[in-house]
Amino acid sequence: MSIRPRTRLAALALAGALAVGATGCSTGTPIDNIVEGLVQQGVDQIMGGIDEQIRGLVDEVLAGVEITTDGTVPASFPTEVPLTGEVLGGGAGPEGSGWVVRTQLDGGLGFDDAAAALELAGFAASGVSSDADSGYGAYTGAAYRVDLSVATDADGVVTATYVVTSL
């Protein structure tokens, strides 16, 4: 009587699990270690597949979108828009449809400083509202509109968010 291929694969998987379970540094029984190893392998395979599917879906849905999280602005961000503070990251829509950049304002900088930089660069303010901890304003220049919002979180960290669109 010959062993079927599925039975042979199951035996190999069990042997591999026994080897992993015997060499693991877990404190449970050998059976616990085997089960834990098999469960972890299954979870790793499932999560790897999900990660790849999500990555592919995001790439398809967001085609042409650029996102930065490394302290730089997107490559296509317009240089005419002055930013205040340390850049945390940002995003760019496809084909110059818009940009978002987030900065952290240190050293007592706040909404008034970010707004002043925009006005100095020739942007006209409208709809401005601010207090000691936050502010919002729309700024229009020759080619771009900038919606600036500044907020202070519970830890006292002040961030500015610039939403830029072409006119």
For residues 56 and 45, the answer to whether their CB atoms sit within 8 Å is no
Pairing of strands 86-92, 66-68: antiparallel
Helix (H, G, I), strand (E, B), or coil: what is residue 7?
helix
For residues 70 and 86, the answer to whether their CB atoms sit within 8 Å is no
Beta partners for residue 162, in sequence order:
101, 148
Q: What is the pLDDT of residues 64-94, one digit of tens each?
A: 677 888 899 999 999 999 999 999 999 888 8
**Closest listed residue to residue 83, CA positions, set 108, 120, 130, 127:** 120
For residues 76 and 66, the answer to whether their CB atoms sit within 8 Å is yes
Write out the H or E segment, with its range, that includes residue 46: helix 30-61
Q: What is the pLDDT of residues 114-136, one digit of tens each?
A: 999 999 999 999 999 999 889 99
Q: What is the pLDDT of residues 32-62, one digit of tens each?
A: 555 555 555 555 555 555 555 555 555 555 5
pTM of the model: 0.64
For residues 136 and 127, the answer to whether their CB atoms sit within 8 Å is yes
Q: DSSP letter for 133, please.
A: S
